[in-house]
Amino acid sequence: MAEAHPVGFQWVMEAKKRGATVIHVDPRFSRTSAVADLHVPIRAGADIAFVGGLINYVLTHEKYFRDYVVAYTNAPTILTEDFADTEDLDGVFSGLNTEHRIYDFETWRYQGREVRPASGQRGVGPDQLRQIRKAARGEAHGSGGAQAHPEPDTDETLQHPRCVFQVLKRHFARYTPEVVAQVAGVPEELFAQVCRHITENSGRDRTTAFVYSLGWTQHTVGVQYIRTAAILQALLGNMGRPGGGILALRGHASIQGSTDIPTLFDLLPGYLPMPHAHQHDDLDSYVASEKTQNGFWANTRNYMVSLLKAYYGDAAQPGNDFCYDYLPRLTGSHSTYETVMGQIKGECKGYFLFGQNPAVGSANARVQREGLSNLDWLVVRDLVMIESATWWKNGPEIETGEMRTEDIGTEVFFLPAAAHTEKDGSFTNTQRMLQWHHTAVEPAGDARSDLWFTYHLGRRIRERLASSGDEMDRPVQDLTWDYPVHGSQDEPSAEAVLAEVNGWDAEGQPLSTFNDLKDDGSTTCGCWIYCGVRADGVNQADRRKPGREQSWVAPEWGWAWPANRRVLYNRASADPDGKPWSERKALVWWDEEQGRWTGHDVPDFIATRPPSYRPPPGATGTDAISGTDAFIMQADGKAWLFAPAGLVDGPLPTHYEPQESPVSNPLYGQQHNPVRELISYRGSRYQPSGREPGSNVYPYVTTTYRLTEHHTAGGMSRFLPYLAELQPAMFCEVSPELAAERGLEHAGWATIITARSAIEARVLVTERMMPLRIGGRTLHQIGLPWHWGANGLTTGDAANELSHLSLDPNVHIQEVKAMACDIRPGRRPRGPALRELVRAYQQRAGITADTGTEV
Amino acid sequence: MSTQPGTGPATGPETGPGADPAARAGYPDHPPRVGFFTDTSVCIGCKACEVACKTWNAVPEDGISLSGMSYDNTVSLNASTWRHVAFIEQIGRPGEADAGLPGVEITPAVDGGSARWLMSSDVCKHCTEAACLDVCPTGALMRTEFGTVVVQDDICNGCGYCVTACPFGVIARRESDGGAHKCTLCYDRIGDGLTPACAQACPTESIQFGPLDELRERAAGRVSELHESGVTQARLYGEDPSDGVGGMGAFFLLLDQPEVYGLPPDPVVTTRDLPRIWRHVATAGAALAVGALAACVRGGRGRS
């Protein structure tokens, strides 16, 4: 965190100053480790074993927060007899269809009165189901409110053999300290220290927070990494309480904002699922399959209709389904990697890149460039001339002779972009807090904001289509596209966009809460969870009252969705009776006299619902939320230790080896995540793993990461002298032991090789890289920063030349945090010899199109 | 003597707790002496200080080449680097431990407490007794009303005397313009009540700016705090007015010997012995003059 988020890290240092213990778990000793109380080196790709070990410790030593667990989690919930665990099936769950590589999650369900079947998947064959799954249903509802049995059978003594608590105990029983050492390389004594710190700092009086970044997400089991932490935090009672939680540090500024109001293919604003072509023929069928019976997702129709009103204004009427038909439909996964394959196949002919540099920053940069080379047109909007705008003249394939500039037909338009200091707008940070920023200086020359570009492009297209009678053009003609502009460059008003996002009532007054949204077309709202950001017509995100002038929760700094709550699910900070678990950790509580919830934060609960409330039989929607259902967005009101829906690769996390690993899975016969997403392609072969022949050709583990001095794919740092001089060369980090084994010289050159390509890097030999002894052999790890490319003041090979296309099946993220490679001294070959080297390695490893693609 | 306050040799008390460089330099009513307290125990090595310094002061880029010295590619303070973050790796390889699993050996990783990666942001010390200022023949180096030392670019003639005089190797000449350059403690910011750029940018308050007296008090408290929490290696460097440079205007909390960070353990103002030397020179000169006079007299007599 100090390494990639130094500014946010000031708060960790502040906490440390106040007595917090800081533990850093990372394969290498980084700048974060340097100031942590404890550094835990770990094998890249083994975190589920490590955190699973913590869960096992908490369960076997009875360190869980029992009252919290019984009241607020699904620990007491009883599962059907159909569920079979990885313990029973040697590493896979019940419902695995190996032919189609999907799970049928009918067997993962709660036992109880049948209320309704799981989300609209009745009568769907496996082929179609796979397409629907690939369309990333897991991300819908923020992965929280998917369909779950709302009235399950429970056992509050936690003794029933099929209650979630007992299932959990059995599932994690094998994650002993010995296994943690064997799988993750964490010595038992060090692991014991972590166990002690975490459990001593959890409970009524204390809380522990987990912070993760891309080191947890970029795996074929990335979502399950975070699920493991979620289970641990729920068991320890660290959710919904001050100082607790799981904090996602995002890849760069406002990534949270770009999922809330998404740049993702599978979501509409506010985590409303994008309609699917075969599932959601009309608004009614969409709502029927996406809403939940209980809780706030029961109001899905209000959110969707208000969104359609924001998009299409007066054209959206009850009689035409509020223009629901104008929305595009999913037919499968349209993630960035499928899009690239579409480019190569010639299906995708045009591409916009807004501040994105896939020729450096996306997995298998080589395949990315192949896709770019096959387009008709490409628009690159960036601050500087990035590699994704110049690959056609100086890309690695030009050097190897695989591509010739004259053969590349892509017409490239480079449009200079304005920086954040040159435009108004908001950032949404990991705390879901919006902070407004103002134009400090007008963009120079032809540089324009993304808002300017998008608005004026849309305006010009609408002008062209104004007189069209083609039905196909109606969605564009009917769009509300009337933002006021100002200044010499006709900059659209960002504040007007915010007003549309916030929404209006029938009288045109700004809404202050999503509770007021209607499904009759009388309200508009561009993103229901952001409703209230412009309450009373005031830009609440622009508030900057200093911390010293308000309470410690600081509710008047910026604005956090939903409803300016700073801690989600904060009902859980009070006990079932509504009293704080302890004075020290009081956040919100039930005020009996006033008959409402109150406290330091905005209560994340129905304000006047007493703790004693129990829903009457047959209650639906928010009426069905009991006075103790602290996790109000979940269909059953509980924190999910066991996820009966929402995840495509298992209801519980299980240690699988990365797609490419020198290690055989020490826990199960199942080596990999059986439903990981594979994109095998001639330019992107996979390597053998574990005991497979040829695995030893790529004997080392490598992990990619960032440096403080550079930013992502380098567009904002490699071109600046003051940053380029601070980290002036692409390098790899290796231990003295590996350097000795391979004859690598400090500050000299090394070549790193995978089945995709080979890159060269300067060598930093450092004891900060530590060899691990795993399964009787020494395992070396190689660190690779991924910032470099061919352009800028400091240039070098991109680490993503090495990475493959194997993805997390829930969210389609690439696995670049744990791969296998070889390393040798010296610079890489030039010209065609580079590909010959890569091919020689492939041949030695016996790599074919099928390698690594087994279930 | 100088024609403006701040330049030329000091005239007030030279050393000791009463040392007041601004008063000695001719500012009778001056604001409190300010400086930096750099607490390296909370430095995260982000180098924001280096970038903020260069950006505010328009200091040029200083070479894009890999040093191989851990994450330190700045290497040292010089004319085009006024803040320099040193990185010192003290990791080591502890002995083998038994993981308790037959057939499985684990190299124990670093024990969380003993492995260290020290980081420290170095800067001009703004010495109470500043040799650079003493030797400057043009008056380009001056003492400010804040007790800091700055180079006036339009007066510096590039003679380089200050470069050899600095006991820390801080000040240097820049090839491109021939002049001597170093940290100004953001003279143009502090005069407007702003914090120097490096301290403003530091996310963890490793670099603290303020009146020197307050900083020294705060630093003493921080050392005690660290000692109490078991960090016995914590020590201050440069806070003592009785040291060889009369105390530094920019001082440090270190976690190891100064040499480990590339700092001289016992710096002495290189002009300390000048008065004594000049006295000897004067005595010798006077003796010579007397001798010469005597010779003249004798000669005169002889001739007359």
Nearest to B91 among A747, A768, A773 (CB): A768
* CA distance linking residue A279 with residue A263, whole number of Å: 22
Nearest to B115 among A23, A29, A747 (CB): A29
Residue A123 binned pLDDT confidence (cut-offs 50, 70, 90): very low
Residue of B nearest to A32 (CA): B44
| Cβ <8 Å between B64 and A29 | no
Residue A560 binned pLDDT confidence (cut-offs 50, 70, 90): very high
- The secondary structure of A514-532 as a DSSP string is GGG--SSSS-B-S-GGGTT
Tell me what the mean pLDDT of segment A838-854 comes to.
Answer: 97
Residue of B nearest to A23 (CA): B112
Least confident among A130-134, A236-240, A398-402, B117-121 = A130-134
Nearest to B107 among A39, A707, A770 (CB): A770
Q: Are B84 and B76 in contact (CB under 8 A)?
A: yes
Residue of B56, B55, B61 lying closest to B79 (CA atoms): B61
Chain B contact probe: residue of A17, A39, A734 with most B CBs at under 10 A: A39
Q: Is B74 on the interface with A (CB under 8 A)?
A: yes
Residue of B nearest to A5 (CA): B46
Q: Which residues of A touch B65 (CB under 8 A)?
A: 728-729
In this predicted structure, what is the pLDDT of residue B93?
81
In this predicted structure, what is the pLDDT of residue A401?
96
Nearest to A6 among B48, B54, B113 (CB): B48
Q: Which residues of B touch A794 (CB under 8 A)?
A: 64
* CA distance linking residue A155 with residue A160, whole number of Å: 6
Nearest to A31 among B44, B91, B112 (CB): B44
The predicted-structure confidence for A617-635, as pLDDT tens digits, reads as follows 888 888 999 999 999 988 8
Q: Is B304 exposed, middle or buried (0-12, 13-18, 19+ CB in 10 A)?
A: exposed
Element (H, E) at A840: helix A833-844
The predicted-structure confidence for A135-171, as pLDDT tens digits, reads as follows 655 555 443 444 555 678 999 999 999 999 999 999 9
Six token digits for residue B230:
């078991």
For chains A and B, count residue pairs whose Cβ atoms are closer than 8 Å.
161
Q: What is the 3-state secondary structure (H, E, C) of A43-61?
A: CCCCHHHHHHHHHHHHHHC
* CA distance linking residue A582 with residue A601, whole number of Å: 16
Q: Which of residues 263 through 292 in chain B touch A, CB cutoff 8 A? A: none
The predicted-structure confidence for B211-252, as pLDDT tens digits, reads as follows 999 999 999 999 999 999 999 999 999 999 999 999 999 999
Q: How far is A56 from chain B (nearest CA, A)?
A: 18
Q: How far is B159 from chain A (nearest CA, A)?
A: 28
Residues whose CB is less than 8 angstroms from the CB of residue A99 and which lie 6 or more positions away in sequence, other chains included:
A126
The predicted-structure confidence for B59-118, as pLDDT tens digits, reads as follows 999 999 999 999 999 999 999 999 999 999 999 886 544 333 333 333 333 344 579 999
Chain B contact probe: residue of A9, A14, A31 with most B CBs at under 10 A: A31
Six token digits for residue A273:
């699922």
Residue A495 binned pLDDT confidence (cut-offs 50, 70, 90): very high
Q: Which residues of A touch B61 (CB under 8 A)?
A: 721-722, 724-725
- Residue for token digits 């290497």? B75
Q: Give the residue, A777 or B7, on which the prediction is more confident.
A: A777
Nearest to A768 among B46, B62, B89 (CB): B89
Q: Is B70 on the interface with A (CB under 8 A)?
A: yes
Number of C-beta neighbours around residue A43 at 10 A: 24
The predicted-structure confidence for A512-557, as pLDDT tens digits, reads as follows 999 999 999 999 999 999 999 999 999 999 999 999 999 999 999 9
DSSP state of B94: P
* CA distance linking residue A46 with residue A50, whole number of Å: 7
In this predicted structure, what is the pLDDT of residue B270?
86
Q: Which residues of B touch A4 (CB under 8 A)?
A: none
Tell me what the mean pLDDT of segment A786-795 comes to.
Answer: 98
Q: Which residues of A touch B197 (CB under 8 A)?
A: none
Six token digits for residue A696:
């030893």
Q: Are A763 and A739 in contact (CB under 8 A)?
A: yes
| Cβ <8 Å between A726 and B50 | yes
Q: Determine what percent of chain B falls in helix, strand and coil, rounding each to the nearest 5.
A: 30, 20, 50
Give the number of C-alpha atoms closer than 13 A to the C-alpha of residue A630, restricted to the C-beta side: 30
* CA distance linking residue A48 with residue A45, whole number of Å: 8
Q: Is B96 exposed, middle or buried (0-12, 13-18, 19+ CB in 10 A)?
A: exposed
* CA distance linking residue A85 with residue A83, whole number of Å: 7
Six token digits for residue B235:
């020590």
Residue of A nearest to B64 (CA): A725
Q: What is the percent of chain A where pLDDT is above 70?
A: 96
| Cβ <8 Å between A41 and B109 | yes
Residue A645 binned pLDDT confidence (cut-offs 50, 70, 90): confident
| Cβ <8 Å between B112 and A38 | yes
- Furthest-apart CA atoms within chain A: distance in Å: 80
Element (H, E) at A255: helix A255-260
Distance of CA A687 to the CA centre of its chain: 26
Q: Is B201 on the interface with A (CB under 8 A)?
A: no
Tell me the one-letter amino acid at A117.
P
In this predicted structure, what is the pLDDT of residue A119?
37
In this predicted structure, what is the pLDDT of residue A150?
63
Q: Coil, helix or strand for A763?
A: strand
The whole-chain average pLDDT of chain A stands at 94
In this predicted structure, what is the pLDDT of residue A138?
52
* CA distance linking residue B121 with residue B36, whole number of Å: 11
* CA distance linking residue A298 with residue A304, whole number of Å: 12
Number of C-beta neighbours around residue B205 at 10 A: 15
Nearest to A187 among B47, B97, B118 (CB): B97
Q: How far is B259 from chain A (nearest CA, A)?
A: 20
Q: Is B106 on the interface with A (CB under 8 A)?
A: yes
Tell me what the mean pLDDT of segment A556-569 comes to.
Answer: 97
Q: Is B152 on the interface with A (CB under 8 A)?
A: no
Reported residue count of chain A is 855
Q: Is B108 on the interface with A (CB under 8 A)?
A: yes
Q: How far is A836 from chain B (nearest CA, A)?
A: 30
Chain B contact probe: residue of A28, A726, A730 with most B CBs at under 10 A: A726
Q: Is A774 exposed, middle or buried (0-12, 13-18, 19+ CB in 10 A)?
A: buried
Residue of A nearest to B90 (CA): A767
Q: Which residues of A touch B47 (CB under 8 A)?
A: 708-709, 726
Nearest to A6 among B46, B60, B71 (CB): B46
Is B293 a residue whose pLDDT tops 90? no
| Cβ <8 Å between A773 and B70 | no
Tell me what the mean pLDDT of segment A208-232 comes to.
Answer: 97
Least confident among A103-107, A731-735, A751-755 = A103-107
Q: Which residues of B touch A39 (CB under 8 A)?
A: 109-110, 112, 115
β-sheet bridge partners, residue A718 = none
Number of H helices, E strands in chain A: 24, 28
Q: Is B231 on the interface with A (CB under 8 A)?
A: no
| Cβ <8 Å between B68 and A727 | no
| Cβ <8 Å between B91 and A29 | yes
| Cβ <8 Å between A776 and B71 | no
Q: How far is A722 from chain B (nearest CA, A)?
A: 6
In this predicted structure, what is the pLDDT of residue A127?
66
Six token digits for residue A259:
């999922």
Q: How far is A26 from chain B (nearest CA, A)?
A: 11
Residue B8 binned pLDDT confidence (cut-offs 50, 70, 90): low
Tell me what the mean pLDDT of segment B260-287 comes to.
Answer: 84
Is A236 a residue whose pLDDT tops 50? yes
Q: Which residues of A touch B100 (CB under 8 A)?
A: 178, 181, 188
Residue of A nearest to B202 (CA): A7
Nearest to B55 among A9, A722, A729 (CB): A722
| Cβ <8 Å between B117 and A727 | no
Q: Are A356 and A340 in contact (CB under 8 A)?
A: no
N- to C-terminal Cα separation, chain A:
35
| Cβ <8 Å between B104 and A188 | no
The whole-chain average pLDDT of chain B stands at 87
Q: Are B178 and B147 in contact (CB under 8 A)?
A: no
Is A327 a residue whose pLDDT tops 60? yes
